[in-house]
Amino acid sequence: MTKQLSKDGMEGNETNIKTWGIGRYCIIRSEYAGVHAGIVISRQGNEALIKDARRLWYWKTPKSISLSAVALDGIVHEASTIPETIPEHLVIGVVEVIPTTKLAEDTIRTAPIAQQE
C-alpha cells in the first residue's frame, strides 16, 4: 500500500513506504542489533542497508529520552557512547526508521569515537 508521506515524513507527496527514507540520514532501530545511524541506501522487508554507519551504543539527548529526541535534537557527546563510522552496514530486523534533522546528524557524525576502557 502507498502512504501519503512527504520527504519530512508528514502527509503530502505520495511515496512508496518500501523506499521511504532512502538517501536520507536516519536512525535505524533493529530488533536484534541495537540502534544505528547512517544514510539509507536501500530497504527490503525488515532489512536496511546504510552507509557512513555508526552504532549508537548508548546515548543521551539534550532535551528528552527517546530515539525520536535523538532524531530531532541529537546526542550529548560527553554522555554518549558511539563507536567509529563504518562504510556500510546491513541492518536486519529493522523495526524503526527515523529521519534526522541536520542538527542531529551533525552531533552523531562528530561524536568522539568510543574507546575501550
Domain that holds residue 32: 21-109
Q: What is the pLDDT of residue 83?
A: 97
Apex CA 44: angle with CA 1 and CA 9, to 5°? 55
Apex CA 94: angle with CA 16 and CA 105, to 5°? 80
Cα 74 from Cα 83, distance rounded (Å): 16
Q: What is the pLDDT of residue 19?
A: 84
In a domain, 16, yes or no: no
pLDDT tens, position by position, 34-89: 999 999 999 999 999 999 999 999 999 999 999 999 999 999 999 999 999 999 99
In a domain, 57, yes or no: yes
pLDDT at 5 over 50: no
pTM, to two decimals: 0.85
> Which CATH number belongs to the domain containing residue 82 in this structure?
2.30.30.100
Number of domains in the chain: 1
pLDDT tens, position by position, 10-35: 444 456 787 889 999 999 999 999 99
